[in-house]
Amino acid sequence: MDEKKAAQLKKLETQSAELMTQIRNENDIEKKKKLIVQREKVERKAVAIRNNRKISRETKKDLIAYSFIAPNFIGFAVFTLIPIVFAFALAFLEWDGNNAIEFVGVENFAKLADDTFFLAALKNTLVYVLGTVPLTMIASLALAIVLNQKVKFRGLFRTVAFFPYVASLVAITAVWKMIFHPSKGPINAFLYYTMGMSNEELPQWFSGSLVMLTLILFSVWKYMGYYMVIYLAGLQGISAELYEAGGLDGANTWQKFKYITWPQLRSTTFFVVVMLTINCFKVYDIAVMLAGSGDGKLSTSAMVLVYYIYEKAFRTWELGYSSAIAMVLFVLVLVITLIQFGYEKKLSE
Amino acid sequence: MKRKALSMLLAATMVAGMFAGCGAKEETAAPAADAAVEEEAPAAEEEAPAAEEEEAPAEEEAEAVTLKWAIWDEGTTPYWSALKEGYEAANPGVTIEMVDLGSTDYMTVLATELSGSGTDFDVVTIKDVPGYATLVSKGTLEPLDSYIDAAGIDLSVYGGVDSQITVDGSLYELPFRNDFWVVFYNKDLFDAKGIEYPTNDMTFEEYDALAREVASADFGSQVYGTHYHTWRSAVQLFGVLDGQHSILDGNYDCFKPYYEMVLGQEDDGICRKYADLSAEGLHYSAAFSSGDVAMMNMGSWYIPTMISSLASGEYDSSLCGNWGIVKYPHADGVEAGSTLGTITGLAVTSATEKKDAAFDFVNWVSGVEGAKVMANTGNFPAIATAEITEIIAGMEGFPTDEASKEALTVSNLYLEVPYGDKVSEINSVLDTYHASIMNREMTIDEGIAAMNDEVAKVLGQ
């Protein structure tokens, strides 16, 4: 053992002894625990030096674990993490992908307030989220409760409810476009022939103020099957004894739902709402497929944030500006999710 | 301790990733391109040996050069391979590799391909002017002026179109294809009603009256007087034909009478509704070929499609076989034959190392040789000469009446989208509000006011 190591060892030993006395004098349990952990680390280092090991056993363990994480993490870092970090930076820059990058400070954000299309996209996205999230939640919960009972052909109905979620978006939007076709669709035919609406009164499902309603209805129909499955799993986790006890106490169906099912499903509902909110803010494909014109362009009545981000980034190559919009979307989703988490925490306490 | 290690690891991966990111770009683009090229390689190889054996000894200085060329829809567009074969035959030693990027979002994909530090494309096709403006401002295209001077090219053969795509005094593309809008009409529908055919000299009032006369609302044999495709060019650009307005002006009041005409026709059932067309995604070719549309304004690119689809039996000739074309209608006091044009051009990338070879190809395709190849496949080359018009009018299947042949001569050609600094943003604003007006989300006045306001913002930036 050379001198350097001896000196190091000596230092570690004194450190350890000091920590030991500190531990003895410490009264606060939490702090004591921390000190003990600290001392253990010092001890381990000392052991490593005494045994002439270059890498401590702990580090070795860590490295092995990291090596297992690495393949996935490197992919994530290169294709997701770096672009995300870069997007944060881009929000304060001006870049078209080729010419020199220019720093513009918060100019990109300042421009947003005066951008008609951004404001329209923001409004439409919020309307879409506010409409889709509660409706999907209610629809999927109702479906789950009904299909959790022993009805005939339960399996078939569950499959039917789940089908829109797995069906190809292109195919089902084509069907919806036929059903809601402004002059030839069965819905408007019904309104025309049986409700006596005139040609001018017939609703234009894919334009104007109604297009967001169509998008919301479509999304509820498409997503409810998936969240129904999650609710079904939640329902099956509720102990039958609770209902039995409730029954003995004379609770009716509504009371059973209110005092047993709903509170027991709280964590499931939390998951459903958080996932739905995040998914709904990301809406793009449904809007383009359902409301887009022949060349996939959206007008102000149906423009959503993700579409506008794409438009600005890859059609007009304002990468900085589009990143700024992406940041707005990110902060929006983050804040809402944090509020949801905070609320959930408050409830569970 | 652990946290520190993790952050170090993170930092390390980021640095590594950055290098990987920079280096990988060229590599990742290559395999996809190679795959696309491989498909057509056998065809190219078959001819290459023969050509080389015969001519290679004669021109020993010609080195083997491979040029990579970005195109779209190779399978359905016959002129790509005709141009490639024509050039290769004339220039032994040069191989043209075509890479098909698809037509739907061609310019977006191309702009992405050319972003960043490098690309392996030598020659790219420019599909539209907004995309051209984007590529020029990104600095991905080579200015061609010095090459044009060196080759002694006379730009006057392009009939002034070149001035509408000049960027700060420089040209970055040479047009090889030039389509102009005409009115297609179905003679049978006019005959059935005993009405005179449309003529090469119609005012908009006459055109509107004719459309209303030929239309019929009878159930089962409904006839639409006109058909307007969902593109904004099909409706609002009637407004720029007087030569006094341009979409770059920032004032769009000139669109108003034409929106009124078209929406009025919609209301009276003279043409299909925009909202319906957009919901069902009806293609203009399906509309015209189904035989219930009397007149349709469309680009001359539809002529070869009509000819070949009727010949192959894809279109029912009893429905639309008896067709003709006439010149665009015109406003009062404006010369007949003023119409909209769309050009397709070729450009040299600024990243290529084979600029001279690439320009030689561009020059050939956009020159007289290329023009003949284009005309023989039924397309309109950018060089408009009487000979070329003869070739197209003489094609098997082209309408035999004199008026249709005469309709091929254009007096004033205005590009649908001429070059302007902010043309890409302007285009997108006009597209948006065109949809709003046609969907009746806004009145005509509101929509035009919104166009004026939003474009003013774009121009004021």
| Neighbour-count burial of A279, counting CB atoms closer than 10 A to its CB (0-12 exposed, 13-18 middle, 19+ buried) | middle
The set of residues, in sequence order, having a beta carbon less than 8 Å from that of B8 and lying 6+ positions away, is none
| 3-state helix, strand and coil shares in percent for chain A, rounded to the nearest 5 | 75, 0, 25
Q: Taking CB atoms and an 8 Å cut-off, how many pairs form between chains A and B?
A: 123
Count the Cβ atoms, other than its own, within 10 Å of residue B328. 22
Distance from CA of B149 to the nearest CA of A (A): 27
With cut-offs at 50, 70 and 90, classify the pLDDT of residue B62. Answer: low
Q: Does B111 touch chain A (CB under 8 A)?
A: yes
- Please give the sequence-ordered ranges of beta strands (E in DSSP) within chain A, or none if there are none: 93-94, 102-103
Does B276 sit within 8 Å of A184, measured CB to CB? yes
Check residue B21 and give its pLDDT.
39
Q: What angle do CA B157, B159, B165 make, to 5 degrees?
A: 105
Work out the burial of residue B449: count CB atoms within 10 Å of its CB; fewer than 13 is exposed, 13-18 middle, 19 or more buried: middle
- Would the pLDDT of B29 be above 60? no
Query: Is A300–B276 a contact, with Cβ atoms under 8 angstroms apart?
Result: no
Residue B46 has pLDDT above 50, yes or no: no
CATH 3.40.190.10 in chain B is located at: 3-179+342-393, 180-338+419-458
Query: Of A73, A181, A300, which is closest to B279 when you measure between CB atoms?
Result: A181
Architecture (CATH level 2) of domain B3-179+342-393: 3-Layer(aba) Sandwich (3.40)
- pLDDT tier for residue B4 given thresholds of 50, 70 and 90: low
Cα separation of A212 and A191, whole Å?
A: 20
Q: CA B120, CA B261: separation in Å to the nearest integer?
A: 49
Distance CA B263, CA A75 (A): 54
Q: Which residues in chain B are contacts of A182 at CB distance < 8 A? A: 273, 275-276, 279
Q: Which of A42, A98, A104 to mutate to test the interface with B (most CBs of B within 10 A)?
A: A98
Cβ atoms of B245 and B253 within 8 Å: the answer is no
Give percent of chain B with pLDDT exceeding 70: 86
Other residues' Cβ atoms within 10 Å of the Cβ of residue A264? 16
| Cross-chain Cβ contact B424/A294 below 8 Å | no
Estimate the share of chain B in helix, then strand, then coil, as percent rounded to the nearest 5. Answer: 50, 15, 35
Kindly tell me if the per-residue pLDDT of B3 is higher than 80: no
**Residue A205 C-beta-side C-alpha neighbours within 13 Å:** 24
B58 near A CB under 8 A: no
Inter-chain residue contact B134 with A297, CB threshold 8 Å: no
Residue B16 has pLDDT above 80, yes or no: no
**Which of A67, A299, A304, A307 is the best substitution to test chain B (most B C-beta atoms within 10 A)?**
A299
**What pLDDT shows up at residue B26?**
37
Q: Which residues contact A55 (CB under 8 A, 6 or more apart)?
A: A48, A63
Judged by CB atoms closer than 8 Å, whether chains meet at B276 and A181 is answered as: yes
Identify the residue among B350, B425, B432, B452 best suited for mutation to test binding to A, counting A beta carbons within 10 A and taking the highest: B432
What is the architecture of the domain spanning B180-338+419-458?
A: 3-Layer(aba) Sandwich (3.40)
By Cβ distance, the residue of B14, B134, B439 closest to A207 is: B439
Residue B58: pLDDT over 50: no
Question: What is the number of residues in chain B?
Answer: 461
Among B433, B439, B455, B461, most A C-beta atoms within 10 A, so best to mutate, is B439
Higher pLDDT, B417 or B9: B417
Copy the structure tokens of residue B203: 């005012």
In sequence order, which residues have a C-beta less than 8 Å from that of residue B290 and are 6 or more positions away? B319, B320
- How far is Cα of residue B2 from the mean position of the Cα atoms in its chain? 59
**Which sign does the torsion angle of CA A246, A251, A252, A255 carry?**
negative
Residue among B370, B373, B381, B356 at smallest CA distance from B122: B356
Q: Tell me, what amino acid is at B37?
A: V
- Closest approach of B90 to chain A, Cα-based (Å): 36
Task: Please report residues of A whose CB lies closer than 8 A to that of B231.
Answer: 294
pLDDT of residue B412: 85
Residue-wise pLDDT for B179-203, tens only, equals: 999 999 999 999 999 999 999 999 9
What residue has token string 């060229």?
B26
Rounded distance, CA B147 to CA B153, Å?
9
| B278 Cβ under 8 Å from any chain A Cβ | yes
Residue A301 neighbours by CB distance under 10 Å: 22
Q: Which amino acid is at B340?
A: L
DSSP B183: E
- The 3-class SS string of B298-313 reads EECCHHHHHHHHHHHC
Best probe of the A interface among B3, B4, B13, by most A CBs < 10 A, is B13
pLDDT digits (tens, 9 = 90+) for B310-352: 999 999 989 999 999 999 999 988 888 889 988 999 999 999 9
B441 reaches A (C-beta below 8 A): yes
Residues in A closer than 8 angstroms to B10, CB to CB, are: 77, 81
The topology under which CATH files domain A110-348 is MetI-like fold (1.10.3720)
Question: What contacts A145, CB < 8 A, 6 or more positions away?
Answer: A231, A235, A257, A261
Nearest Cα residue to B201 out of B314, B74, B328: B328
pLDDT less than 50: residues of chain A = none
Structure tokens at B61: 């200085």
Each domain of chain A, given as residue ranges in start order, spans 3-90, 110-348
Strands B293-299 and B174-186: antiparallel
Instruction: Indicate the residue of B2, B137, B275 with minimum beta-carbon distance to A207.
Output: B275
Q: Tens digits of per-residue pLDDT, B404-420?
A: 999 988 888 889 889 98
Tokens of B158: 């392009």
Residues A73, A80: Cα–Cα separation, whole Å: 10
Which amino acid does the sequence have at B305?
A: T
Quickly tell me which residue has 């498909």 as its tokens.
B39
Interface of B with A in 390-419 (CB under 8 A): none
At A323 the three-state DSSP class reads: helix
Q: Output the pLDDT for position B50.
A: 42
Enumerate the residues of chain A whose CB falls inside 8 A of the CB of residue B9: 66
Among candidates A66, A99, A183 on the partner chain, residue whose Cβ is nearest the Cβ of B139 = A99
Rounded to 5 degrees, what angle do the CA atoms A111, A113, B447 make?
A: 100
